[in-house]
Amino acid sequence: MVAAGGIMDDYLIEISKTHGPVFRLCMWHQVVVFVSDPECIKDVLVTGNHPKSKRMYSRLSNMFGTRFIGRGIETEVDNKIWVLQRIQLDQWFKPHYIRQLASEFNEFADRFVEYLETKANGKTEIHMLDTFNKLAMHLLYKVASSIDLGPLTDENHPFVTKMKTTITGFATLLSDPLVAINPFKWRFRRDVRDAIKYIRQSARQMMTDRNVAKRNGDYVPHDLLEYIMELKEKHPSKMTDEILLDNFLTFLLAGQETTAATLSFIIILLAKNPECYKKLQKEIDDNIGAVSVVTLNELEKLPYLDMVLKETLRLYPVVKVSFRETTTDYKLGGHHIPAGTDMVISFYATSRSEQNIRQPLDFLPERFDNDSSERISKYAVTPFSAGPHTCIGKKYAEMEMKIIIAKIMQNFDFELIPGQTSEVQGNVFIQPKSEVKCFLRPRKTVSA
């Protein structure tokens, strides 16, 4: 299954057909329990609220001896410390604040449209995955720090390139732990370490510049950087400079990779399902037309867009797994699990299992219609995780992606260049195997 173009989780789905949705495997001389049953997922993530796996998250915390995202909200494995961080950061991600970001989302979506217009002649290949990566990082950088990386161009900003290097480093380390000591991989390790140092130093310089601006009495925007710097002033013993950096970079890392991949999968799925494509385009034409600013009110008029996003995330939960560790002997799905056992919660396998979803490999956005006859368990589709550890940026990501897709559908017709595949790659973050090459043509949206 894996060799045939799938990923590990495709193999897990096949195993679960024989051995059930809770089973163990031995990987790298370590026993790991895989879970793809909705009720068991609820038990692990919500009822039990098991801590994150030290063994797995340490690889993201530090890579090749260099601190990457350290002990931020994504990698902190001590639940008591994690709860304090979550409470502190939660305020910035409240819905009322996210709504205020709509203007930023629209501004960058418009820049994106302008960039695509230079290539939308029906003949020029556009690599949408790479283009979405640029857009996501430019937008995240501006929202988080109020710093503009400049116009979208064919060249990647160094920060975008370095972030991609670190993500590749983590994915490689997860699939092949021996890369950490392989003498033939020393250049790879050096490049990853250099990329991490560049990223952390860039963020550290932002903090220095912000402190100078404050001392000089200059205007200071109330963005994410400012918010977590204020947290440090209020809680100096709990929010050190390094943890501040950890959380700032966690936001950039998670936001870029997940947004770019999900937008790319939406393009693939719509292009391969023309009836869904036409239905979404008609909904946008009929309900918001050529409106220049897509607000939350406009998005509420687009229920099919919401269904398309949910169905895309069901098929392609970009963060496809979560790792937990038992702290005591534990009973799960009738199985005894000893203390200190790593558990892998596979969101990908759960939401693609025929035990949980009808026609699981088909793209059917209507399954998320309120009037649908299909009743999907709350824990069968959890692309943003579940329980206390539900993704803190969920509302941010949903609003951002909906605005971008709405703007694309308003302004362009697109088609995949032959040879683009729906296959995926990745160990924790998944993305299309192909570059999602498209031809775009301009269109004039009918006013609503």
Known binding residues for heme are: 391
In degrees rounded to 5, what are phi and psi of residue 111? -60, -40
Helix (H, G, I), strand (E, B) or coil at 438: strand
Non-local (6+) Cβ contacts of 78 within 8 A are 51
Q: How far is residue 125's CA from residue 418's CA, in Å, rounded to a whole number? A: 11
Nearest partner of 339 among 349, 325, 350, 353, judged by Cα: 325
Q: Looking at residue 23, what DSSP letter applies?
A: E
Which residue intervals of 65-101 are DSSP H helices? 79-90, 95-100
Q: How far is residue 253's CA from residue 245's CA, in Å, rounded to a whole number? A: 12
Q: Are 423 and 5 in contact (CB under 8 A)?
A: yes
The per-residue DSSP string of 160-210 comes to: HHHHHHHHHHHHHHHH-GGGGT-GGGHHHHHHHHHHHHHHHHHHHHHHHHH
Burial of 352 (0-12, 13-18, 19+ CB in 10 A): buried
Q: How far is residue 255's CA from residue 312's CA, in Å, rounded to a whole number? A: 17
Helix (H) or strand (E) holding 416: strand 412-416
Q: Are 21 and 355 in contact (CB under 8 A)?
A: yes
Q: How far is residue 30's CA from residue 20's CA, in Å, rounded to a whole number? A: 20
- How far, CA to CA in Å, does 288 sit from each of 294, 297, 309, 373? 8, 10, 18, 28
Question: Token pair of 342, please?
Answer: 């790593």
Output Rg (C-alpha) for the chain, integer angstroms: 22
Q: Are 384 and 390 in contact (CB under 8 A)?
A: yes
Pairing of strands 30-35, 342-346: parallel
Question: Token pair of 209, please?
Answer: 């510049």
Residue 32 β-bridge partners: 25, 342
Annotated binding site: 391
Q: How far is residue 434's CA from residue 127's CA, in Å, rounded to a whole number? A: 9
Burial of 433 (0-12, 13-18, 19+ CB in 10 A): middle
Q: How far is residue 165's CA from residue 256's CA, in Å, rounded to a whole number? A: 13
